[in-house]
Amino acid sequence: MINAKERLIVALDVDTREKAEEWVHRLKIHVPMFKVGLQLFTKEGTEMVRSIRKRGARIFLDVKYHDIPNTVARACEAACSLGVDLINVHALGGRAMIRSAAKALKEASAKMRQPKPRLLAVTVLTSHDARSLKAEVGLRSTPSREVVRLARLAQDSGAEGVVCGPREAALVRRACGKDFLVVTPGIRSALDAKGDQKRILSAGQAVAWWWGGRCWAPWTRWRPCSPS
């Protein structure tokens, strides 16, 4: 049985190397992996990644590459040299782009003789709901259906997992199998501000959705929930 702590990724959504290193120092004995996103990577660069690696922690490089296939492939090669464990691209970049990324990671890791980063594809950002997905992105289906469609596309194109909202995790698992990695952002406590995210759950609700699409509200008993 997998310990729940082995599934945690802490997002280093801070603006300086000093703050990030402090959080890694505090939490590395409790969690196995840290996420370096666009803000921190843009500010502190590759040395930030190397600093976390030196502290014995694993890294999810959350840069969401989305460009022509060759450009994304070369970026993935560069990321591979950093020794990260997970890296992601946008599934909306299409089949050729995802395949190029997967091929580049495989070839680069073999050439460097080091473990290959696992490739994830971002499906539908948690800042989108059904209205914005239709009006702004031009996708007419519901977020949950688009997530499953993009997850299948990503899997067929060589990705080893996806990033999706917590409400869609169980749907992706059923569609793509138990070995397909599912990473879920948008996990916040009921007291946290939502910010610009729309499809979010608390940690308890996310676990409940994973086990059969049920969610727990503190003022009720277990109740069924329908994907949005």
Catalytic residues: 64
User: Do 175 and 152 touch, CB atoms closer than 8 A?
Assistant: yes
Q: 95-112 and 143-156 are packed helices; what angle lies between their axes, rounded to 10 degrees?
A: 50
Helices (H) and strands (E) in the chain, counts: 9, 9
CA quadruple 159, 161, 163, 166: dihedral, nearest 10: 150
Can you list the positions of beta strands (E) in 91-160? 118-122
Q: How far apart are CA 162 and CA 182, in angstroms?
A: 5
